Amino acid sequence: MAGLEARGIITYSLRSRTFDRLTDFGGFPVWFPDSQHVLFVAGGKSFFVLDTRTRKAEKVFSVQRDVIGPAQVSRDGQEAYFTRRVTEGDIWLLTFDTGSVGK
């Protein structure tokens, strides 16, 4: 799933004009209202909450076969909204009458 891989969570300081790498994995970050925690997706399968002061990321939700999309956090920081995609398919069987194939 190369399309779902991200390079990590990075912030930029306007004051110091510097970048700060908070994680080396994940993407699609959204801030919580406290401006200290960030919710982000890793590999399309898990959500993590990152404490930007301690730099610790905790997995808070994961799926096995689905793909979860970027989330949005509610204004009060109590809920998150996201998409969850499941790809399903059917298997069809075709049986040839070998006596009539190619004639």
Q: Answer yes or no: is 55 within a domain.
A: yes
pLDDT, residue 91, reads 81
> Model-level pTM?
0.76
What is the domain range of residue 11? 2-85
**Number of domains the chain contains:** 1
Nearest to 57 by CA among 74, 43, 39, 73: 39
Q: Answer yes or no: is 103 within a domain.
A: no
One digit per residue, the tens of pLDDT, for the chain of length 103 reads 455 455 899 999 999 999 999 999 999 999 999 999 999 999 999 999 999 999 999 999 999 888 998 999 999 999 999 998 887 777 887 877 776 655 5
Cα→Cα distances 30→20, 53, 56, 80, 83, Å: 16, 16, 16, 10, 15
CA distance 74 to 94: 50
Q: Answer yes or no: is 101 within a domain.
A: no
Spatial CB neighbours of 73, under 8 Å, sequence gap ≥ 6: 30, 31, 32, 33, 39, 79, 80
